[in-house]
Chains A and B, each alone.
Chain A
Amino acid sequence: MELWIKIGSAVLLATMFVVIFPKAKHMLANSPKGSAQDWLGALFPIVLVILFVIFLISLV
């Protein structure tokens, strides 16, 4: 990767960080808290996604 693309990419990602940081801070402080049951309900489809990606990898 050329140096200017590296620097540009880093600047872009750093800008994203700066833009998103206040929202993330606000969300962390103000999001409703999920119960263990809620997190299990979210974990289930995410585990399926992981298994599906592993399946895709096995196909290449």
Chain B
Amino acid sequence: MNQNPVIVDRGQASVLATNKVLRNTYMLLSMTLLFSGLTAGLSMAMQLPFAMYFGSVIGAFALIWLVLPRVAKSGAGIAVVFAITGLLGVGLGPLLNYYTALANGSQIIGLALGGTGVIFVGLSAYVLTTKKDFSFMGGFLFAGFLVILVAAIANIFFQIPALSLTISSAIILIMSGFILYDTSRIINGGETNYILATIGIYLALYNIFVSLLQILGIFGGDD
């Protein structure tokens, strides 16, 4: 006979809530990825200039920092998430056009896309099956990201190929860590807002994809 029905009920309610956040996050993530693919395709077809990548990233981060925190708990948050991911998709268009112009550009894009998918599915499956708590990685990941930002600022002006490669590699590792961290926060109840969870994982995937494109581009003959 169950001695603590209330405790068990609360436990079950917590698990159900966590599953709901996870399910909603993955559903919204899949829709935003499809939407990004659509806007990236349109951007490619329209042959938008490379400056568009820069402009769309600025627009997306303005929405992430200034608008999303105010609407994340309302239905309007979903519209803002689509605006952010749509903008980032538009920004990918010129980048993808650049790679498709290379001799093995289609192969590079395909590998980067498939590679991003495999990394995401693998890391998510690892967290979901082990149910490990990766909250201890938070400080390390944010500090690591700041170091990458400083290196990236320096490399804008120095343009050292080896540093570019190092930065892209470091981004993949840090963003992989963020996938572990974000997913573990969802399943352990640290993140209860699926809109914020979606944006966190989406940005990690976006950065992994762009960095993989750069690395494969460098090794595939693009310098």
Name A residues whose Cβ lies closer than 8 Å to a Cβ of B: 1, 5-6, 8-10, 12-17, 19-21, 23-24, 27-34, 38-39, 41-42, 45-46, 48-50, 52-53, 56-57, 59-60
B95 at the interface (CB under 8 A from A): no
Residue of B at shortest CB range from A8? B54
Question: Which residues 96-135 in B have Cβ within 8 Å of A in the complex?
Answer: 104, 107-108, 111-112, 115, 118-119, 122-123, 126, 130, 132-135
With contacts A24-B145, A46-B177, A56-B111 known, is A34 near B153, CB below 8 A? no
Indicate which residue in A10, A14, A31, A42 contacts B139 across the interface (CB closer than 8 Å).
A31
- How far is A14 from B135 in the complex, measured between Cα atoms in Å? 26
Q: Is the CB of B137 within 8 A of A42?
A: yes
Chief secondary structure at chain B's binding surface? helix
Residue of B at shortest CB range from A41? B132
Name B residues whose Cβ lies closer than 8 Å to a Cβ of A: 50-51, 54, 57-58, 61, 65, 104, 107-108, 111-112, 115, 118-119, 122-123, 126, 130, 132-143, 145-146, 149-150, 152-153, 156-157, 159, 169, 172-173, 176-177, 180, 212, 215-216, 219-220
Q: Is the CB of B176 within 8 A of A46?
A: yes
* Contacting residues, chain A, for B136 (C-beta < 8 A): 31-34, 38-39
* Contacting residues, chain B, for A50 (C-beta < 8 A): 173
- How far is A32 from B138 in the complex, measured between Cα atoms in Å? 9
Q: Is the CB of A13 within 8 A of B142?
A: no
Chief secondary structure at chain A's binding surface? helix
Indicate which residue in A9, A15, A28, A59 contacts B142 across the interface (CB closer than 8 Å).
A28
Q: Is the CB of B58 within 8 A of A52?
A: no
With contacts A49-B119, A53-B169 known, is A42 near B134, CB below 8 A? yes
Q: Is the CB of B157 within 8 A of A6?
A: yes
